[in-house]
């Protein structure tokens, strides 16, 4: 379907392994992390088109993980996914920088759509940043 690189982050191993397998069968390149620190490490080492992140995890919360991920890659689009969602949690996630918020169990087609939207938005942001950097270099060099 897409070849997009997606990171799934959730402390529920059975859930994340099953979802990862379903997304791989649809052509996504999947990576998984079962906690916030592991997700942050992967984001520091690899490039992802989108991240699907659980809001409620033991240890480091989804919001804290989101903040740390966006420090590493401000253009990365993160969709928060949780069974413990409230309107306030969704609003807080969006204010923190999440690109979207879905409740478990999320409809697979809706999740696929959110991943595609997140990847497209990241591409636009990266292209814009690159164009700005090139324009800045050209201004400084006087070409």
CATH number of domain containing 67? 3.40.50.2300
Q: How much is the pLDDT for 143?
A: 66
What is the average pLDDT score of the chain? 87
Whole-number Å distance between alpha carbons of 65 and 9: 10
CB 36 within 8 Å of CB 65: yes
Task: Identify whether 105 is preceded by a cis peptide bond (ω within 30 of 0).
Answer: yes
Determine the structural domain holding residue 80 and report its residue range: 5-141
- Supply the pTM of this predicted model: 0.83
96 pairs with which residues across the strands? Answer: none
Confidence of residue 86 (pLDDT cuts 50, 70, 90): low
How many domains does one find in the chain?
1
Compute φ and ψ for 56, nearest 5 degrees: -110, 110
Nearest to 58 by CA among 41, 87, 37: 37
pLDDT tens profile 18-58: 999 999 999 999 999 999 999 999 999 999 999 999 988 88
């Amino acid at each position: 379907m897409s070849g997009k690189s997606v990171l799934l982050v959730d402390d529920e191993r059975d859930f994340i392994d099953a979802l990862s397998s379903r997304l791989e069968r649809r052509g996504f390149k999947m990576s998984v992390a079962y906690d916030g620190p592991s997700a942050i490490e992967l984001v520091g080492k690899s490039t992802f088109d989108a991240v699907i992140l659980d809001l409620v995890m033991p240890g480091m919360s989804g919001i804290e993980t989101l903040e740390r991920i966006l420090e590493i890659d401000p253009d990365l689009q993160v969709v928060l996914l949780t069974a413990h969602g409230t309107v306030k949690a969704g609003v807080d996630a969006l204010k923190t920088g999440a690109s979207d918020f879905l409740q478990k169990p999320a409809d697979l087609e809706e999740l696929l759509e959110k991943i595609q939207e997140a990847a497209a938005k990241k591409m636009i942001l990266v292209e814009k940043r690159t164009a700005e950097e090139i324009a800045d270099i050209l201004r400084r060099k006087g070409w």
